[in-house]
Structure 1
Amino acid sequence: VEFTRDPLGPDNEDGGAFSLHRTLIRNETFRDMSHQNARYWTVINTQSRNNYNSPRGFSIHPHSAGHTFLLPGSALNSSMFITHPIWATAYNVDEQEASGRYPRSGIPQQGLPTFIENSESLDNEDVVLWHTFVVNHPPRPEEFPIMNKMRCGFCLLSTNFQSTPCSQYKASCSTDKDCCSITNGKSYCNLKTNRCGAWRYCNNSSVVECPFSDLSVTEIEDVIQIIKKSQKFSSEIQFTIVRQQVPDKSLWNSGDKASRQRIAYAAVYDLRKNYLLQVLVSLSSKSVVSVKKSKDSIPPLTKYEITTGEEILSKDSRIKEAYERRGLNATYAAFIMWAFGAQEEGNAIGRRRVRPIAYYKDPETKYPFWRPVEGLSTTIDIADKKIIDFVDKGNVPVPDTPYIPESTSLNDTESTKTNIEIDGFLVKWHNWKFQYSMDPSYGLQLYHIRYIADCEERFLIYKISISEMYVPYGADGKTWRWRGAFDAGEYGLGRVITPLLLGKDVPTNAKLFPCPQVDDVTGDVDFVNDPKGPRNPDGGAFSLHRTVIHNETFLDNSAKNARFWSVINTQSRNKFNSPRGYSIHPSNLGYTFLKPGNPLNQAMFVAHPIWVTVYNEDEQGAAGKFPRSAKSGQGLPEYIKNRESLDNADLVVWHTFVYTHAPRPEEYPIMNKMSCGFHILSRNFQSANPIIKMCENRNSA
């Protein structure tokens, strides 16, 4: 959805009018931003309309329009999803990761480029919308040694979703009891009216959890034991990922009993043989369901690689000498292990190698990041347990900034009671319901977001989560140029979460969610100028120009046109006869400065801010399932390759945004927070602002 200027004329004499232009996307593709047209994206359900006959939907509005500066090649090949902000794909249960399931593998351009490769039709399909946003962060001294949080994101707004203010809704219209039934002693959810909740069914003395709920610690341990006892694997394996395997979307929505099975997914890595096994385990039958071998895939780092690397470094005399040359006590040497991609210089496909970053952690310093040791770089082969490359560029001064103790308390001026209800993994607040999950790779995930209005549960989003986060440092020099992290696929956003303390990290009335953790186990719309004429004599008018995207593709920003994207439901309209939907508005319009080649080839998704694809269960990563693979252009470029039709399809919108950070001395040693993102705004979703009634009690939550 884009804005365009209206032509001058009797209805626009002063040139102040402008309109929205919508483009329908009919095939899997990626989409980019348009600065000039304030573009955003809208997803609508043409079969669902409000009382005003406007199609219901939601819109995605980007906060920023950043882009990657990676050049085509090694780094970019593993993160092609960052080349475009929006990708739309047909739902595929195997497509979960924007950069591929294992970014450091030997297959380049996997993930989203691969997902859209066939350009499948989005018409009448279950669509997945991927949004990628990029932050280019220039280091500042104020960020040292502790970097403040930065903000980027987008707005997701309903469009024509309802016809009456939420204050008129009566909670008694629908209760959890209304959507449950009991058959043969088992309690089931009525999937036609409530596809998700904290539903469960009983089988004798055991309770089978909702398939979307996180695995418990006991279940994780069961998965590991089932795999070990199956005698299908060697004794030298590592469990890099263990998570619940959510059911196929089509089966779940249809109410198929097979979707109720409790299935777990495990990524099992054989370090000695250098191959990965993706295993599905049934917790119901206590058996291995399937095993998929991936020879060139490199899974996330585990505690084994970290401790092994530290042990190898501690025994190498060159490390001690390097610290002593800098006047440092080698006893306090500290290292952060970084994953090493298959396409990077000196690395063989399928080899498990790491590159440590050196720090100095003296007794007064809690975090090693206060004292980086520059000019020192090594490469370690974990399987062979040896250093294969050692670089010491000389004595670079180590910062001597005094350590600042962390804050011990949070000023909590209000302790009002919250009205957020939590039942297992089900969250209820006002008219909203959703289920949460903490995935080891992707962190917080929200499922089955729905809004209750007019005595009806309206489903907005099946799943929303981070797919990948790629952080290239963009610096030259042998000790810096290789630094680029896939925070989700390599290190796991859910594996690095830390507990929050009431009154210290969050207000005392905050609701905290339990997140089981187990340590690693060894084994478009544009604004356009209206032409001068009778309706625009002085040329001051501008309108929204809508372009319907019929096939999977990518979309770029247009600062000149203030472009944004809309998703609407032509079958659901508000009382003004406007189709309901959502619009996506970028907050900034940054771009990557990377040139074609490595590392841009592995992160081609950063080339465009918006990609739109037909929903595909297998298309989950913007950079492909294994971003660090040898194949270039995987992920979103592949997902949209066939340019499938988007007409009446289940759409996926992928949004990417980039932020470029210029270093300043004022940023040292602590960097202030910065903000970027995008807005998702509802458009014609309802006829009045529902927030008015909610604001009557400002401390309700």
Structure 2
Amino acid sequence: MTAVSERPTTTAAAHPLEPLRAEEIAAAGALLRELKGLGKTARFVFVTLHEPPKADVLAWSPGDDPLPREAAVTLYERGEKRTYEAVVSLSAGELVSWRAVEGVQPSIMAEEFEACEDIVRSDPRWQEAMRRRGVEDFSLTMIDPWASSYTGPEDHPSARRILRPLTWLRAAPGEHGYARPVEGLIVIVDLDAGEVVDVQDHGVVPFPPKPGNYEAKWKHDPDNVPAFERDRDDVKPIEITQPEGPSFTVDGHALSWQKWRLRIGYTPREGLVLHQVGYDDRGTLRPVVYRASLAEMYVPYGDPAPTHRFKNVFDQGEYGIGWLANSLTLGCDCVGHIQYLDGVVNNQDCEPVTIPNAICIHEEDVGIGWKHTDFRSGAVEVRRRRRLVISTVVTVGNYEYGYFWYLYNDATIEYEVKLTGVISTGALPPGERPKHGELVAPGLYGPNHQHFFCVRLDMAVDGPVNRVVEVDSQPSPPGPDNPHGNAWETVRTVLASEAVAQRDADANRARYWRIENPSARSALGEATAYSLMPGASAPRMYSPDAVFAPRAGFAAHQLWVTAYDEDQRFPAGDYPNQNPGGDGLPKFVEGDRPLDGTDLVVWYTMGAHHVVRPEDWPVMPVTSIGFMLRPTGFFDGNPALDVPPTAANGAACHAD
């Protein structure tokens, strides 16, 4: 450890897991510049809280001495073309660690993302390719900086740092440019040199003839696809009010709602993070999840055309969704009594960047929670179900993704991803139909593709000692004990080690997974548990021998379970950018560590399968994918039995 005297330090945070404040991000950069003599070529990729060891956090209580406050920094030294990782102590003004990471490329930085368009537009070869398509006004072009993927040794991260941007054309300023893709034109940009190193033109394809606008000033054009003369006039206002205020409280990043207690975190790579999720069970705060986050998004395209075959992006590991978050708008993104939290990230000079209203917190009524009518007496009891919503929305180029954590008053946890935005489009010659996609307008198609979302769940069901049990349902064998053949039973399989804890959902067996605490017992003598209930999903459709398949080995299975390791945070590895593959979960489990009765992490991957429809154009209606964590023997009965019998409008929800 390198100590430095008289260095500026920052004040302690209220809690060890509080996200880095703006002044802490700036202080981390100032410390590193001075301690390591960094110049202008040192670019700060991600600066985030270096979370204290789990044992220290669990042992800490308000009023205790603060834990060391540290920042983890990923830095790219452009002058050396080398990546560094550092940890600096913000409370002591010290350098805790510094190391070079060889043979990797860190995520694409915001300044690179933003500079790419000008770099491409200034290249004579690209300009000539556009002129071959009849384009002279280059200001009408849109260049999207697609991550390069890995197509061969020339893309290896040790060779060069590149992007493969694609081009679209607006018919007029402000129009929807994705309606006119420049098919067959691929550019390779060297980000270190700040120049185009190659232009590949696979032939001119005519621009699709029809506009596809969705903005109010354009969408009533009779040639638009689709065309509407006017907006609907039969939509009446809906007002959601809470005259006594919300049922939740927010103190810094600590959140309490009814019986739930948790902390909200935020990182530039993961975006929204939940910490220390627990439930107050009649005066006892019982832990459920220590840390939960979306750990990776992987979007492979299933079209072999030159413009599309390299598309397989890792939106977190290659970009980082925290700095892509939207500033959410009351009445549009969130409705009701809203509490917002800002997201604080860094730019490449390690200056703090605040995204106002990056996180939205509000309550929703979601229908009947439970009900029964005694038909003999006429007595009716019904309770409303309510949930707390913690959400954020990001824009990744053409797509929007909404990430929603729901906490219900019956102790269920749900995670949902909402997909919307604009499809990545391709063009076809007149009269052709795509083999690997679907037409959405004349000459315009959406390639087949998938989205895989891997959620990392650092489980803590009644404490850190857990195990995972796979539960299948199956018919009981016929015989004297099953004379009518109607019986069925559940079969439990303990996933005792990492080698066997690589599993897939099976709807034919109604499969789910119990995360149990074998040392905590319910009133009935069973291990307390929360069950992971799979939602709709799809397996990967590409060949296991695909060039890019090793880059996302985690997508081979929906469920992985690993022994806890604080350094194993991302399912495709720390540096998927230009990586040929092999890192992440497949490497984590090589040691086949035991899992029965230990501190463990559950990784669950959902696959959204997108065969594009005309209805997805020019902007997609929301589609969603998700899963639930449901208490299973965690309580001694219905935890929502004590919900009061009052409807949203004040009417009594019971009758004697």
Q: TM-score, normalised by structure 2?
A: 0.71
1:249 maps to what in 2? Answer: 54
Alignment of 1:323-472 (within 5 A): 323-328=130-135, 329-341=137-149, 344=152, 346-350=154-158, 351-361=160-170, 363-365=172-174, 368-392=177-201, 393-398=203-208, 400-405=210-215, 411-416=237-242, 417-472=245-300
Q: Equivalent of 1:511, from 327, 339, 342?
A: 339
**In the alignment, structure 1 residue 528 sits paired with structure 2 residue 469:** no
**Amino acid corresponding to residue 196 of structure 2 in structure 1:** I
Cα distance, 1:667 vs. partner? Answer: 2.5
1:153 maps to what in 2? Answer: none
Report the Cα distance in structure 1 between the residues aligned to 2:196 and 2:350, rounded to whole angstroms. Answer: 22
Cα distance, 1:335 vs. partner? Answer: 0.9
**Amino acid corresponding to residue 164 of structure 2 in structure 1:** R
**Amino acid corresponding to residue 686 of structure 1 in structure 2:** F
Q: Equivalent of 2:99, from 258, 269, 292?
A: 292
Q: Which runs of 5+ in 1 are unaligned?
A: 1-202
Bigger relative contact order, structure 1 or 2 (CA pairs below 8 A, ≥6 apart): 1
**Amino acid corresponding to residue 472 of structure 2 in structure 1:** D
Deviates more, 1:290-299 or 1:571-580: 571-580
Contact 1:335–1:359 (CA under 8 A) maintained in structure 2 = yes
Per-residue CA deviations over 1:25-44 (Å, capped at 9, x if unaligned) read: xxxxxxxxxxxxxxxxxxxx
1:634 maps to what in 2? Answer: 583
1:620 maps to what in 2? Answer: 569
Contact 1:570–1:579 (CA under 8 A) maintained in structure 2 = yes
Report the Cα distance in structure 1 between the residues aligned to 2:165 and 2:15, rounded to whole angstroms. Answer: 41
From the superposition, tell whether residues 312 and 635 of structure 1 become closer, same or farther in structure 2 (CA, over 3 Å).
same
Report the Cα distance in structure 1 between the residues aligned to 2:323 and 2:175, rounded to whole angstroms. Answer: 21
Report the Cα distance in structure 2 between the residues aligned to 1:411 and 1:652, rounded to whole angstroms. Answer: 45
Counterpart secondary structure, 1:338: coil
Report the Cα distance in structure 1 between the residues aligned to 2:302 and 2:212, rounded to whole angstroms. Answer: 28
Contact 1:621–1:635 (CA under 8 A) maintained in structure 2 = yes
1:216 maps to what in 2? Answer: 21
Cα distance, 1:362 vs. partner? Answer: 5.2
Cα distance, 1:341 vs. partner? Answer: 3.7
**In the alignment, structure 1 residue 545 sits paired with structure 2 residue 353:** no
Structure richer in strand, relative to its length: 2
Alignment of 1:23-34 (within 5 A): none
Q: Equivalent of 2:30, from 219, 225, 229?
A: 225
Report the Cα distance in structure 1 between the residues aligned to 2:114 and 2:324, rounded to whole angstroms. Answer: 16
Report the Cα distance in structure 2 between the residues aligned to 1:258 and 1:633, rounded to whole angstroms. Answer: 42
Report the Cα distance in structure 2 between the residues aligned to 1:563 and 1:336, rounded to whole angstroms. Answer: 41
Contact 1:410–1:506 (CA under 8 A) maintained in structure 2 = no
Aligned CA RMSD, in angstroms, stands at 2.9
From the superposition, tell whether residues 406 and 563 of structure 1 become closer, same or farther in structure 2 (CA, over 3 Å).
farther
Contact 1:211–1:245 (CA under 8 A) maintained in structure 2 = no
Cα distance, 1:481 vs. partner? Answer: 0.7
Report the Cα distance in structure 2 between the residues aligned to 1:518 and 1:437, rounded to whole angstroms. Answer: 15
Contact 1:420–1:428 (CA under 8 A) maintained in structure 2 = yes
Deviates more, 1:520-529 or 1:458-467: 520-529
Report the Cα distance in structure 2 between the residues aligned to 1:414 and 1:624, rounded to whole angstroms. Answer: 43
Alignment of 1:661-676 (within 5 A): 661-676=610-625
Report the Cα distance in structure 2 between the residues aligned to 1:399 and 1:250, rounded to whole angstroms. Answer: 62
**Amino acid corresponding to residue 511 of structure 2 in structure 1:** R
Counterpart secondary structure, 1:310: helix
Q: Equivalent of 1:650, from 596, 599, 604?
A: 599
Alignment of 1:121-160 (within 5 A): none
Counterpart secondary structure, 1:401: coil
Counterpart secondary structure, 1:678: strand
Per-residue CA deviations over 1:288-347 (Å, capped at 9, x if unaligned) read: 221111121211111332344323212222333333433443221121112224564631
Cα distance, 1:475 vs. partner? Answer: 1.6
**In the alignment, structure 1 residue 277 sits paired with structure 2 residue 223:** no
**In the alignment, structure 1 residue 691 sits paired with structure 2 residue 640:** yes
Cα distance, 1:649 vs. partner? Answer: 0.7
Report the Cα distance in structure 1 between the residues aligned to 2:529 and 2:85, rounded to whole angstroms. Answer: 38
**Amino acid corresponding to residue 569 of structure 1 in structure 2:** N
Q: Which runs of 5+ in 2 are unaligned?
A: 1-7, 218-230, 352-469, 651-656
**Amino acid corresponding to residue 648 of structure 1 in structure 2:** G
From the superposition, tell whether residues 274 and 375 of structure 1 become closer, same or farther in structure 2 (CA, over 3 Å).
same
**Amino acid corresponding to residue 320 of structure 1 in structure 2:** Q
Report the Cα distance in structure 2 between the residues aligned to 1:538 and 1:344, rounded to whole angstroms. Answer: 61
From the superposition, tell whether residues 560 and 333 of structure 1 become closer, same or farther in structure 2 (CA, over 3 Å).
same
Contact 1:344–1:482 (CA under 8 A) maintained in structure 2 = no
Contact 2:167–2:185 (CA under 8 A) maintained in structure 1 = yes
Cα distance, 1:468 vs. partner? Answer: 0.7
Contact 2:270–2:294 (CA under 8 A) maintained in structure 1 = yes
From the superposition, tell whether residues 327 and 400 of structure 1 become closer, same or farther in structure 2 (CA, over 3 Å).
farther
Cα distance, 1:402 vs. partner? Answer: 4.5
Contact 2:9–2:92 (CA under 8 A) maintained in structure 1 = no
1:487 maps to what in 2? Answer: 315
1:39 maps to what in 2? Answer: none
2:301 maps to what in 1? Answer: 473
**In the alignment, structure 1 residue 606 sits paired with structure 2 residue 552:** no
1:681 maps to what in 2? Answer: 630
Deviates more, 1:504-513 or 1:278-287: 504-513
Contact 1:216–1:516 (CA under 8 A) maintained in structure 2 = yes
Deviates more, 1:657-666 or 1:626-635: 626-635
Report the Cα distance in structure 1 between the residues aligned to 2:117 and 2:586, rounded to whole angstroms. Answer: 38
2:506 maps to what in 1? Answer: 558
Report the Cα distance in structure 2 between the residues aligned to 1:594 and 1:443, rounded to whole angstroms. Answer: 28
Contact 1:299–1:490 (CA under 8 A) maintained in structure 2 = yes
Per-residue CA deviations over 1:213-234 (Å, capped at 9, x if unaligned) read: 1222222111111111223434
Report the Cα distance in structure 1 between the residues aligned to 2:540 and 2:92, rounded to whole angstroms. Answer: 49
Contact 2:43–2:75 (CA under 8 A) maintained in structure 1 = yes
Contact 2:10–2:91 (CA under 8 A) maintained in structure 1 = no
1:127 maps to what in 2? Answer: none
From the superposition, tell whether residues 274 and 563 of structure 1 become closer, same or farther in structure 2 (CA, over 3 Å).
same
From the superposition, tell whether residues 233 and 456 of structure 1 become closer, same or farther in structure 2 (CA, over 3 Å).
same
Report the Cα distance in structure 2 between the residues aligned to 1:234 and 1:700, rounded to whole angstroms. Answer: 62
From the superposition, tell whether residues 402 and 390 of structure 1 become closer, same or farther in structure 2 (CA, over 3 Å).
same
Report the Cα distance in structure 2 between the residues aligned to 1:283 and 1:658, rounded to whole angstroms. Answer: 40
From the superposition, tell whether residues 206 and 680 of structure 1 become closer, same or farther in structure 2 (CA, over 3 Å).
closer
From the superposition, tell whether residues 368 and 422 of structure 1 become closer, same or farther in structure 2 (CA, over 3 Å).
farther
Per-residue CA deviations over 1:483-519 (Å, capped at 9, x if unaligned) read: 1111111111111111112233322412211222443
